[in-house]
Structure 1
Amino acid sequence: MTLWYLARAAGVVAMIMFTLSATLGLAMSGNRRPERRFWLQYVHRSAAATGLVLLTTHVIAVTADSYVDISPTVLVWPFGSGYRPFAMVVGVLALYGLVLASVVGAARGRLAGSESFTKHWRKIHIAASVGWLLSIGHALLAGTDRGTHWMLALTLGCLAAVGAAGAYRARATTPLNLARAGRIR
């Protein structure tokens, strides 16, 4: 049972870390002060990296535990899972999106000189948002705690945090607010 507890805890805290990263990522675009943006970027990346470590722990613990029938092949063929196959598909797609965004994000500094890469960065980074949203779906579909009040409240809190950050970003990037900040005329 120790591996199952580890898998559950790592999955829940990974969701929280990815939520923190998503929230800060959305909030950064509305904040143009360089000194504040630097720290937001630092915590954004640190939360994402911590989330990836916890996600790796979650996957290893789930596949190593004999409590449920989840083999490592689920990472390639998630439909073959003996444990809630649809939830596993959602989780594996979340994993793919989050890992893609992190690999591309890690290479961003090296590729910043490429005009083509810079032009497509935001489109590629959307994979992180999709991965985060799918991870929320995975938590609601797969977790053994999904029916508990605390897990539902935590999941709804994650959705609310990202929703509030999205509203902040939308408000901060309206033409009127951009004109007030002197970014457009």
Structure 2
Amino acid sequence: MTLWYLARASGVMAMVLFTIAASLGAIGAGSRKPEQRFWLQYVHRSAAVTGLLLLAAHVTAVIADSYVAISPSVLVWPFGAGYRPFAVTLGVLAMYGLVFAALVGAARGRLASSQAFTKRWRSLHIAASVGWLLSVGHGLLAGTDRSTPWMLAITTSCLVAVVASAAVRARSRAVQASTPLSLARAGRFR
């Protein structure tokens, strides 16, 4: 039972921390104040790294638990899982996206002098958003507690938090684009 509890708790907490990372990433990218942006990005990265550690604990506990009969080969071929193969596939794809985004994020500082990498940063970092969304789908389909009121409340809260953060970011961008300084820089206002 210990592995089952560990798998459940680490999976749920990983989703919560990835939600915090996604929300702060969205809000932090739209922040104009450098010190505020610094702290938002610091907590964003800390939540993402902690989420990755919990994800590793989740995967390890699930593979080690003999009840669900998931082998390490599922990390390479997730469709072969004996336990809810579609849901496990979503989870593995989510893990791929989140780990890829973490690796790209870790390399960002080292590759900042490359204009090609800087241009592609946002398009590569979108893997984190895709990974987060797939992890929510995984939790809704694979978890043993997926239909309990408390788990539905956590999942709904995660969805609302990310959507609200994206809305705040979109509003911030719209306000920034309509300021006289932004219009002057774009050559639209003289």
TM-score range, shorter chain: over 0.9
| Match status 1:37 vs 2:37 | yes
State the 1:181 CA deviation. Answer: 7.3
State the 1:131 CA deviation. Answer: 0.1
The alignment partner of 2:82 has SS state of coil
What runs of 5+ residues in structure 1 fail to find an aligned partner? none
Paired letter, 1:179? S
> In structure 2, do the counterparts of structure 1 residues 45 and 181 end up closer, same or farther at CA, with 3 Å as the change threshold?
farther
Paired letter, 2:159? L
Aligned-residue RMSD, C-alpha: 1.0
CA distance in 2, matches of 1:50, 1:182: 39
The alignment partner of 1:173 has SS state of helix
- In the alignment, which residue of structure 2 is the partner of 1:72? 72
CA distance in 2, matches of 1:173, 1:106: 26
CA distance in 2, matches of 1:93, 1:181: 44
- In the alignment, which residue of structure 2 is the partner of 1:170? 170
State the 1:67 CA deviation. Answer: 1.4
User: 1:13-40 CA deviation, whole Å, 9 max, x = no partner?
Assistant: 0000000000000001221100100000
- In the alignment, which residue of structure 2 is the partner of 1:16? 16
CA distance in 1, matches of 2:50, 2:183: 37
Identical pairs, percent: 67
State the 1:150 CA deviation. Answer: 0.3
| Match status 1:28 vs 2:28 | yes
Paired letter, 1:48? A
User: 1:34-82 CA deviation, whole Å, 9 max, x = no partner?
Assistant: 0100000100000000000000000000000111111110000001100
TM-score under structure 1 length normalisation: 0.97
Structure 1 consecutive aligned stretches of length 4 or more whose deviation exceeds 4 Å: none
CA distance in 2, matches of 1:173, 1:61: 42
User: 1:87-106 CA deviation, whole Å, 9 max, x = no partner?
Assistant: 01100000000000000100
Paired letter, 1:29? A
CA distance in 1, matches of 2:163, 2:95: 21
CA distance in 2, matches of 1:181, 1:69: 61
State the 1:124 CA deviation. Answer: 0.2
CA distance in 1, matches of 2:162, 2:181: 27
CA distance in 2, matches of 1:119, 1:29: 15
- In the alignment, which residue of structure 1 is the partner of 2:179? 180
- In the alignment, which residue of structure 2 is the partner of 1:100? 100
Task: Specify the structure having the higher radius of gyration (Cα).
Answer: 2
User: 1:137-156 CA deviation, whole Å, 9 max, x = no partner?
Assistant: 00000000001000001001
State the 1:178 CA deviation. Answer: 2.7
- In the alignment, which residue of structure 1 is the partner of 2:140? 140
> How many corresponding residue pairs?
184
- In the alignment, which residue of structure 1 is the partner of 2:63? 63
